[in-house]
Amino acid sequence: MLPETNRLKHRKDFSAVYRKGMRRNSAHFSLRALRKPKSAELSKPTGEKSLQPTRTGISISLKVSKRAVVRNRIKRQIRAALRQLLPRLKFGWDLVIVVRPIAQECNYAEILQELEQLLVEAEVLDGNSRGSIL
């Protein structure tokens, strides 16, 4: 599981990302990303801490598979990839990863590579270590 602070959980948060966020597409996934405004908390010692952590949600419909086992396996693989990329994510974003039906064919390495590519395109992933998997 992702840490509690990095989870997008409420319907209103998902709706805001769908309504106002930018969209980036790949063969197996669609990424919606919305930059959150900086919080007004200036009492913290560093400027980076005043930004909220990036939160991520996964949207996978019955169109991907009627079997919950298949959908849950894909979600687990996506969460594992996000955990690996979490230290490199910039602060202050809400992300929704929409899974396409063709994603059933993906293995973990393909999921990781595609997510990294989408996050780089959306400029959510820190550019210091860009070429690690691409």
Q: Give residue 10's pLDDT.
A: 96
- Is the pLDDT confidence value at 49 over 80? no
Q: At CA 103, angle to CA 96 and CA 125, rounded to 5?
A: 40
Over residues 99-128, the pLDDT tens digits come to 999 999 999 999 999 999 999 999 998 765
Single-letter amino acid code for the residue at 108:
Y
pTM given for the model: 0.84
Burial of 79 (0-12, 13-18, 19+ CB in 10 A): middle
Look-up: residue for tokens 């998902």? Answer: 14
Q: Give residue 126's pLDDT.
A: 78
Over residues 62-96, the pLDDT tens digits come to 999 999 999 999 999 999 999 999 999 999 999 99
- Measured distance CA(36)–CA(53) in Å, rounded: 10
pLDDT category at 43 given cuts 50, 70, 90 is: very low
Q: Give residue 132's pLDDT.
A: 47
Q: Give residue 98's pLDDT.
A: 97
- Determine the 3-state secondary structure of 2 from DSSP: coil
- Is the pLDDT confidence value at 131 over 50? no
- Measured distance CA(26)–CA(114) in Å, rounded: 7
- Measured distance CA(5)–CA(52) in Å, rounded: 9
pLDDT category at 46 given cuts 50, 70, 90 is: low
What number of other Cβ atoms are within 10 A of residue 116's Cβ?
19
Q: Give residue 128's pLDDT.
A: 57
